[in-house]
């Protein structure tokens, strides 16, 4: 990935994009309720790039000196490719040690397997060796069957950008 990883502020229309960016390791706050002025102020104050489908919001953000990316279409690979092209990002990967919580954007930290014994289904506990917990909401993660699908998503994204 690029030396500098931007942080994002994702507006109400792009919740799934925020989740994918989090899985790719990007700090991505999702805001489904703020008005344009509040989003712009948060973007300015927190130095976040606003991701939106709202052209009026991009114009207002630009006037306020806040970086933005106008997202077109609904395909998530294409949406992240638009962000990557505008910001010069490349080499995407889904890595549990750098991903963020899809629910709250918290950091994922490794946790000893024995500490989550009663918190995951027995079959998961038996099959998996590595677990992570969200630093904020405490949700538990592991590299289950979905992990390969996420790796394929990252491969498609990198192919799209090459």
pLDDT of residue 116: 95
pLDDT tens for each residue of 27-76: 999 988 889 999 999 999 999 999 999 999 999 999 999 999 999 999 99
Select 8-87's CATH number: 3.40.190.10, 2.30.40.10, 3.40.50.2000, 3.40.50.11230. 3.40.50.11230
Domain boundaries, the chain: 8-87, 97-142
Whole-angstrom distance, CA of residue 153 vs CA of residue 91: 12
CA-wise closest residue to 29 among 132, 88, 106, 128:
106
Q: pTM for the full model?
A: 0.92
Tens digit of each residue's pLDDT (9 = 90 or more) over 71-126:
999 999 999 999 999 999 999 999 988 999 999 999 999 999 999 999 999 999 99
71: nearest Cα among 149, 12, 158:
12
User: What pLDDT digit, counting tens, does each position of 127-140 carry?
Assistant: 999 999 999 999 99
């Amino acid at each position: 990935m690029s030396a500098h990883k931007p942080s994002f502020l994702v507006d109400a229309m792009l919740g799934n994009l925020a989740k994918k960016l989090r899985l790719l390791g990007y700090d991505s706050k999702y805001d489904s309720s703020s008005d344009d002025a509040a989003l712009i102020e948060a973007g300015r104050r927190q130095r976040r790039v606003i991701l939106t489908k709202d052209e009026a919001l991009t114009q207002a953000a630009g006037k306020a000196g806040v970086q933005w990316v106008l997202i077109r279409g609904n395909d998530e690979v294409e949406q992240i490719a638009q962000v990557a092209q505008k910001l010069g990002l490349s080499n995407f990967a889904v890595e549990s040690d750098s991903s963020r919580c899809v629910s709250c954007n918290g950091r994922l930290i490794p946790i000893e397997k024995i500490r989550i014994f009663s918190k995951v289904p027995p079959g998961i506990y038996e099959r998996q060796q590595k677990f992570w917990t969200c630093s904020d909401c405490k949700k538990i993660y592991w590299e289950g069957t979905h992990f390969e699908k996420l790796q394929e998503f990252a491969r498609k994204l990198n192919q799209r950008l090459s």
